[in-house]
Structure formats: C-alpha cells, structure tokens
Structure 1
Amino acid sequence: MTITQLRYVLAVAEHQNFTKAAEKTFVTQPTLSMQIQKLEEELDILIFDRSKKPIELTDVGKKLVQQARNIVNESERIQDIVDQQKGFIGGEFKIGVIPTIMPTLLPMFLNNFIKKYPKVKLKIEELTTEAIVERLLDGHLDAAIAATPLENESIKERVLYYEPFVGYIPSNHRLNQKKNIDISDLNVDDMLLLEDGHCFRDGILNLCKTQKGFDEDHFQLESGSFETLVKLSNEGLGMTLLPYLHTLDINPNEKEYLHYFNEPSPAREVSLIFNKSELKMHIIDALHSTIAGVVKGAITFQNVQIISPLSKAKSD
C-alpha cells in the first residue's frame, strides 16, 4: 500500500470517474486504474462499485476513504515540519471567504500579506459558510474566513476580530431621530435583509427572533448585496443592518443615516478557521497575525454581544 495509491482512491471518490481522477492527479487513466486495482487485490476488497454510473464507493470503500484522507493529511504534515524547520513560508494556500466579508476585509490585508510573504501563492475563493465547511473537511481548502462559532468539532477557529452591526436608517424611518438604537427597537416588518444563504442574514434573524411578534417570513424585500440594501433603504423601503467594516466605505452623504447600538453592541465574531488536522500551520499563523494586526486599528469596539451565525434551525 502506498500514499500515491491512496491519493488515487481519494481522487476517484471525489470525481466518481476514473478518467477525471486521472486528469486531476496527472497520470494516465490505465495507470490510475491499475494502482487502485492493485490496492484492492492487496486488501482483498472492492473499494468502488464500477457497475454504477457514476461510480460509487462500496460500504467498506467509504470507511477506507475516511482513513485514507487522514493518512494523506498526515503525510503532508512531514513537509510542514521541514518547511517550519527551515523557516520557509511559501507554496500554494487555498482559502475561502464568505461574501459579506470578502469585499471589505480583503483590500485591508492582502497587499500587506503578499509583500511580507511573497513565496505564498494564495488562491482565494468566495464561498458560503456551508460550502466552506464542506471543502475544509474534504481537504479542498487549507483555511477560511467566516463568521463563528460554527459548533463543528472537526474545525478549529481562531478569532480575528469582533465586528459590530450598525443600523442604516433613512430620514423617513421611525427610528431616524434616535441617536443610538437598541435591539428592542428592531422590527422585522420594516427591515431589509440579505437573501437566504447568507450567514449575516441568519445572525440578524437570531438577533430579532426574541422580539415580540417575530415572523421569519414577514420581510418586505431581500437582496444579494449590502449596496442594494442601502439603495432600497434610501428609497424609503425600510432600514437595514450593515457590518461595521462596510460602513467605512459608505458615501459621505449617507453616513448621517448610520446609527450605532447602545452597548453591548450586537456583533459577529469573525475567525480564521481550518481543519483540525492543522496542516500548513505556519501559513495560518502568518495570515492570522497579518489580518488581526490590520483590523485591530479599524475596529475599536470593546463591549460587544456575539450573535450566532448559525441558522435558526441549527441554533435551536
């Protein structure tokens, strides 16, 4: 049994196709098939049910794949140890970022990180929290930036910062005359939210669901971006909540519509998250240090109340 054979098994399990798996592992299809067959003969089992289209794992194959992933991860840790001993911080690093963090956080730290660690090749992808968790667990991401806590035992979380929610309240809204607002002031009947699938939306629902008369299906309008929510709000269609970093780039003539919460401010916890196998920790440490250092000067709020990003169904 070899680690190369296990890599081939993982590739076929992922793509459910020998030809695609061979392309992804840069070998010919006959070579990949032969090596997997050798492994099956050695173990005296069938890993894949080839009669199914697409190919499926057998019951014992499913268990083998779980262990194969652990073995391959541990083998990669050897290179990590060598890199850390040599003080080398480089190589490809795949990171996922949720949509409500990507546009504000990335410009703040990316240039600094690239200059400080030029040998690291970052591959950044915008993904939902659900997709991030899935890819972290199957090894297709090295780390991610997301709202936490996620309550997943297989994922480790290192807090980067706490980002308060800020009310964006147009001049014709019932709360506009209030300098600061309270959670009890919120009413879902006049609030604009991000569309379903955004954890920032789930955080707001969790914030509001303790209020009297809460009805999760009672929203006027939903949108895929904060920019659209602000425009809709300006048209008098309701108020919205924005993450604090997003408010730093808002148009100067719109800043008068920003209303902060009385302390403790409701906030989301933003963390660098990664698989508990802890591969490439030297790059994770470098990322955490760079991001936390940059954001520290931008967010000075101390007294905050962390709002869960988990959907209502998961948090109940």
Structure 2
Amino acid sequence: MTITQLYYVLAVAENKNFTLAAEKCFVTQPTLSMQIQKLEDELGILIFDRSKKPIQLTEIGHKIVNQAKNIVNESGRIQDIVDQQKGFIGGEFKLGIIPTIMPTLLPMFLSNFIKKYPKIKLVIEEHNTEEMITLLKNGHLDAAIAATPLEDEKIKEIVLYYEPFVAYFPENHHSFQKEEIEVGDIDVENLLLLQDGHCFRDGILNLCKNTNNSESSIFQIESGSFEMLIKLADEGLGTTLLPYLHTLDLKEKDKVKLRHFKDPKPSREVSLIFPKSELKIHIIDALRQVIAGVVKGAIVFQNVQIISPLSKKP
C-alpha cells in the first residue's frame, strides 16, 4: 500500500470517474486504474462498484476513503515538520475568499504578504462559503477567509476581525436625519439584498428576523454586487446594508448616506478557516499575523453583536 495509491482512490471517489480522476492527478488513466486494482488485490476487497454509472463506492470503500483522507493528510504533515524545523515558509498555498470579503480585504494585505514571504506561491480563489468548506475537506484549499461561526466539526476557525453592518439610506429615507440607527429603522419591505448564496445576505436576513417583519415581505430586487445595490438605493428603490470595510472606499457624496448602528453594533465575524488537520499551519499563522497587522487600524469596533452567517431554515 502506498500514499500514491490512496491519493488515486480519493481522486476517483471525488470525481466518480477514472478518466477524470487521472486528469486531475496528471497521470494516464491506465496507470491510475492499475494502481487502484493493485491496492484492491492486496486488500482482497473492491473499493469501487464499477458496474454503476457514475462509479460508486462499496460499503467497505466508504470506510477506506475516510481512513485514506486521514493518512494522506497526515503524510503531508511530514513536509510541514521539516519546513518548520528549517524555518522555511514557502511553497504553494491555496487560499479561498468569499466574494463579499475579497474586494476589500485582499488589497489590504496581499502586497505586504508577498513582500514578507516571497517564497510562498499564493493561489487565491473566490468561492462561496459552502463551496470552500467542501474544497477544504477535500484538500483542494489550504485555508479560506469567511464569515463565521460555521459550526462545522471538521473546520477550525481563527477570528481575524469583527466587521459591522452599515446602513445606506437615500436622502428621502425617514431615518436619514438620525446619527445612529437601530435595527427597527431598517425598511425590511424595501431592503435591497445580494443574490441568494451570499452569506452576507443570510446574515442580513438573520438580523432582520429580530424585527416583526418576515423574510417573505422583503423586496425582491437582488444583485450580485454592492455597487449595484447602492445605485438602486440612489434611484429610490430601497435601502441596503454594507460591510464596514466596503464603505471606506465610497465617494464622499455617498458616505453622507451611511448610518452606523448603535452599540452593540450588529456585525459579522471574519475568520481564517482550515481543516482541523492543520496542514501548513505555519503559513496559516503567517497569513493571520499579516492580516491582523493591516486591519488593526481599519477595524476598531469592540462592542459588537455577532450575526450568524448560517442560513436559518424555517
């Protein structure tokens, strides 16, 4: 039994196709099939039911795949141990970031991180939270930045900062003259939201469920970007909520339409998330330190109320 054979098994289990798995592993399909066959012969069992389309795991195959994930992950720790002993911080590191955090946070830390750790090949991918959790568990991402808590027993979270929700009111809004607002000042019936699938949207829905309004009454204009929501609000089509960091880059004429909530400010918790196997933890810690250094001056709110990003099912 070899680590390579187990790696091939995991690829087939994920892709449910030998040819596609071989492409992902950068080997020929006969090579991959032969190695899996050798492993099955050695164990005296079938890992895959090849008679089904797509290919399915056998009952014992499910158990083997679960153990194979542990073995492959632990084998990767050997290189981590060597790197840490040598004081080497480098190699490829795949980082996922959710769309509502990517445009504001990435420019703040990327340049500093690259300059400080030039031997790290940082590969950055944008995914929604659900996609990133799957990619983390399957070993396709080393870490990610997302809104938390996620309540996933296989994922570890390290909080980076707390980011308040900020209301954006057109000038004719009944609360425009207020210096600070409460959740009850939000017009839930005319609330402009991001499209379904964004955890920032789910956070707003969870926040507004604390009022007497129901989700079904929320105005059904949805967009994929905060910029579009701002334009819709300016056209008198409603109000919206923005993450605090996004408000820093607004034009001065738009900043006058922002209203902060009273303490404790409803906020999202932004964290580095990664598998509990803690592979490449030395790089994760380096990333955490760099991000903490750059957001320290931008995020100064302490009295906050964390709003869950988890979509609440009725």
1:166 equivalent in structure 2 = 166
Q: Secondary structure in 2 aligned to 1:69?
A: helix
Residues in 1 aligned to 2:218 and 2:242: alpha-carbon distance in whole angstroms: 20
- Per-residue displacement from partner, 1:24-58 (whole Å, max 9, x unpaired)? 22322222211111110111111111112222211
1:178 equivalent in structure 2 = 178
Residues in 1 aligned to 2:142 and 2:32: alpha-carbon distance in whole angstroms: 25
1:133 equivalent in structure 2 = 133
Residues in 1 aligned to 2:289 and 2:5: alpha-carbon distance in whole angstroms: 37
Cα RMSD of the aligned pairs, angstroms, is: 1.2
Q: Secondary structure in 1 aligned to 2:38?
A: helix
Q: Is the 8 A contact 1:160 1:291 kept in 2?
A: yes
14-23 or 206-215, which deviates more: 14-23
How far off is 1:239 after superposition?
Answer: 1.0
Q: Secondary structure in 2 aligned to 1:216?
A: helix
TM-score by length of 1: 0.97
Q: Is the 8 A contact 2:113 2:290 kept in 1?
A: yes
Residues in 1 aligned to 2:70 and 2:32: alpha-carbon distance in whole angstroms: 20
**Would you say 1:42 and 2:29 are equivalent positions?**
no
Residues in 1 aligned to 2:126 and 2:7: alpha-carbon distance in whole angstroms: 26
How far off is 1:238 after superposition?
Answer: 1.1
Residues in 1 aligned to 2:213 and 2:26: alpha-carbon distance in whole angstroms: 58
How has the CA–CA distance of structure 1 residues 221 and 26 changed in structure 2, closer, same or farther, with 3 Å as cutoff?
Answer: closer
1:71 equivalent in structure 2 = 71
Any residues of structure 2 matched to 1:1-316 within 5 Å, and which?
1-313=1-313
219-228 or 70-79, which deviates more: 219-228
How far off is 1:18 after superposition?
Answer: 1.8
Q: Is the 8 A contact 2:187 2:239 kept in 1?
A: no
How far off is 1:217 after superposition?
Answer: 4.5
Residues in 2 aligned to 1:283 and 1:215: alpha-carbon distance in whole angstroms: 41
Residues in 1 aligned to 2:266 and 2:23: alpha-carbon distance in whole angstroms: 48
Instruction: Give, as a single letter, the amino acid of the residue that structure 1 aligns with 2:179.
Output: K
Q: Is the 8 A contact 2:188 2:217 kept in 1?
A: no
Residues in 1 aligned to 2:26 and 2:208: alpha-carbon distance in whole angstroms: 51
Residues in 2 aligned to 1:290 and 1:304: alpha-carbon distance in whole angstroms: 23
Q: Is the 8 A contact 1:173 1:236 kept in 2?
A: no
Residues in 2 aligned to 1:28 and 1:239: alpha-carbon distance in whole angstroms: 55
Instruction: Give, as a single letter, the amino acid of the residue that structure 1 aligns with 2:136.
Output: L
- Per-residue displacement from partner, 1:99-155 (whole Å, max 9, x unpaired)? 000000000000100011011111111100110111111111100000000011110
- Unmatched 5+ residue regions in structure 1? none
TM-score by length of 2: 0.97
Residues in 2 aligned to 1:192 and 1:26: alpha-carbon distance in whole angstroms: 45
Residues in 2 aligned to 1:305 and 1:26: alpha-carbon distance in whole angstroms: 48
Count of residue pairs brought into register by the alignment: 314
Q: Percent identical across equivalent pairs?
A: 73
- Per-residue displacement from partner, 1:30-89 (whole Å, max 9, x unpaired)? 222111111101111111111122222112111111110110000000000000000011
Q: Is the 8 A contact 2:191 2:218 kept in 1?
A: no
Q: Is the 8 A contact 2:158 2:271 kept in 1?
A: yes
Instruction: Give, as a single letter, the amino acid of the residue that structure 1 aligns with 2:208.
Output: C
- Per-residue displacement from partner, 1:147-195 (whole Å, max 9, x unpaired)? 0000111100000000011110010111111111011222311211111
